[in-house]
Amino acid sequence: MGPNHSVEIPNWVDLTEGKESEVNSDSDSSHTAVADSEQASGSVKKKKKNRKGRGKRGGKRKGKQAKQQTSEETDETDAMLTPTSTPRSDATVSTVSLSESVKKKLMDKKSAGINYVYVPVVPHYERRIVPSNSDNNTPGKSTIEVEKHGLFATEDIEHGTRIICEPALITLPTQGHGIKELMSAFAKLSKDDQEAMWKMDPSDFSASPLLTALANIADPLVDRACQLLDIPEASRTQEQSAELQDVGRVLEHALPTLRIAARWHAHCRPVTTVPQTNWSTLPGNTPVLGVFALTAQLRHSCVPNCYAHYNATSARITVHATRPIPRGDELTLSAIPSIYYQSATDRAAELLNKYALKCTCEACDPAHPKFKAHEEARMRATARAILLDNFLTVLEVVDSNKALRALHLPISYRPEREPAKDELADMILSLQELLSDLAATGAEAGVETMRWSNVLVDRLLPRFAEACRDCGEKEKGEAAWKAVVGRARLVVVLGEVLWGIVRSLLRG
């Protein structure tokens, strides 16, 4: 597993803005609601100012003016529900019709002081059957639906392109044992949403003890039903006909439960930033897991070309391309978070235990010409990450003791050791080598590169610059601060690639 110094993404970051493409009239486009926080803030302030200016007389102005204001707000709401885009000359803008549920959600957001513009995200992909020779084959018992599917690029995709932005189909407060809650939530879905969940590839029944138990219940009943159905109806005894009806009633509930549970297990992902070890401390109805219709179509790879992030404020998941994706290539995500710090053997064991998957990507196939380079880079990255993690822990001890001493409080009993300038320089070099190793694994624009770049910007380079200043090496200190600025700019670019551009923060 990777080190514990993770990047915290603030919930106020507007992840619904990114590189949007033209809208094609014949495309089956997904859509995103973009929050124009600046517009909302200005609108709210203006209304408050007008109310304040009217004073006491404002309370008497009703009738026609109130109706006119209501009419204007209604027109403004209709305008915000109109799709906007910037199409190329060879593309046409398609008309987007909103369901009543989507309109209600947007109106709820508007009443809270947030204005939304409904902006299409054009799909750059199509769903295809995965060729058997490139499938992530399941080593054990296979599910009924053995045919696997994936999303493949229908055009060249630039890195940083937003591919998917969607809300969850289902969210649940519990994992694994919430079968009743899962089936209840599924039953409440619309017909289209249920069909979207049925399109997801299920996990193998051996992927979890729960699925195995459900399969052990259903399999004998399926076998018995087949035996009874093989008997011609005219030849069945009364007891056999009654047994067939009883078995059918049980299977009518058992099979859908098993199949939906298998899809949930394969594709559910966290919808909270709270670590799983602390989920028990959350209020009982807090959603912690969700499943997403389009994101679920992306299969696992240990060299993924996409990154998915859930934003709790917008209640949507976004998927961005982390590197250029040629037309025809499959779009992939990582199902496990520690792929860059594990050997192929360790990754294979985790994928098998959690999802009953066997990955055959270039980092997992010993016959692939890039396999050795991947393996060596990940082992170097693991060693350097552990070294840097320990050093960052030392810095935390030093800084916490300094803060306690400044407040005239007892310091920690842990040893305090201010790192020397040369030691800081060695750690900076190790971190730069770690970034090179991550780039060799395909994570050049990944979240781990962002995380360690932040360590350079926030922790190591400024400290090294101050150490150079204390030693009288002014030029080295200035060079270090310039490196901070350069790396910070790179972090901004990485953020645009991974989460989209936060335009409201970049204006002015």
Both tokens of 233, joined, read: 């109806």
**CA 268 – CA 261 distance, rounded (Å):** 10
Cα separations in angstroms, 441 against 62, 266, 397, 435: 66, 25, 32, 10
Query: One digit per residue, pLDDT tens: the chain, 508 residues?
Result: 444 443 333 333 333 334 433 333 333 334 433 333 334 444 444 444 444 444 444 444 444 444 444 444 333 333 333 333 333 333 333 333 344 544 454 455 445 554 444 455 677 899 999 876 544 544 444 444 567 899 999 999 998 899 999 999 999 986 545 888 999 999 999 999 999 999 999 998 988 898 999 999 999 999 999 999 999 999 999 999 999 999 999 999 999 999 999 999 999 999 988 888 888 888 878 889 999 999 999 999 999 999 999 988 888 999 999 999 999 999 999 998 888 999 999 999 999 988 888 999 999 999 999 999 999 999 999 999 999 999 998 888 887 777 666 666 665 555 566 788 999 999 999 999 999 999 999 887 788 999 999 999 999 999 999 999 988 998 999 999 999 999 999 888 888 888 876 444 333 3
Answer for the pair 82, 118: CB distance below 8 angstroms, yes or no.
Answer: yes
Longest dimension (CA), the chain: 101
CB contact burial 54-69 (16+ within 10 A = b; e otherwise): eeeeeeeeeeeeeeee
In 160-262 the beta strands, taken as DSSP E runs, fall at 162-166, 170-172
Answer for the pair 428, 375: CB distance below 8 angstroms, yes or no.
Answer: no
Concatenated DSSP letters of 335-356: SSTTGGGS-HHHHHHHHHHHH-
**CA 372 – CA 190 distance, rounded (Å):** 48
Query: CA angle at residue 20 from 15 to 21, to 5 degrees?
Result: 160
pLDDT value at residue 194: 96
Tens-digit pLDDT profile for residues 7-29 = 333 333 333 334 433 333 333 33
pLDDT value at residue 9: 35
CB contact burial 217-249 (16+ within 10 A = b; e otherwise): ebeebeeebeebeeeeeeeeeeeeeebbeebee
Q: Where are the domains of the chain?
A: 22-123, 371-506
- 162 contact partners, CB below 8 Å, separation of at least 6: 18, 19, 20, 32, 121, 318, 319, 320, 500
Q: How far is CA 81 from the centre of its chain?
A: 26
pLDDT value at residue 410: 65
**CA 232 – CA 240 distance, rounded (Å):** 11
**CA 196 – CA 192 distance, rounded (Å):** 6
Overall pTM surpassing 0.75 (yes/no): no
**CA 390 – CA 4 distance, rounded (Å):** 10
Answer for the pair 487, 461: CB distance below 8 angstroms, yes or no.
Answer: yes
pLDDT value at residue 464: 94
Strand partners, 127: 151
Look-up: residue for tokens 């993924």? 304
- 299 contact partners, CB below 8 Å, separation of at least 6: 130, 136, 148, 150, 201, 330, 332, 333
**CA 261 – CA 267 distance, rounded (Å):** 10
Both tokens of 466, joined, read: 């101050």
pLDDT value at residue 41: 43
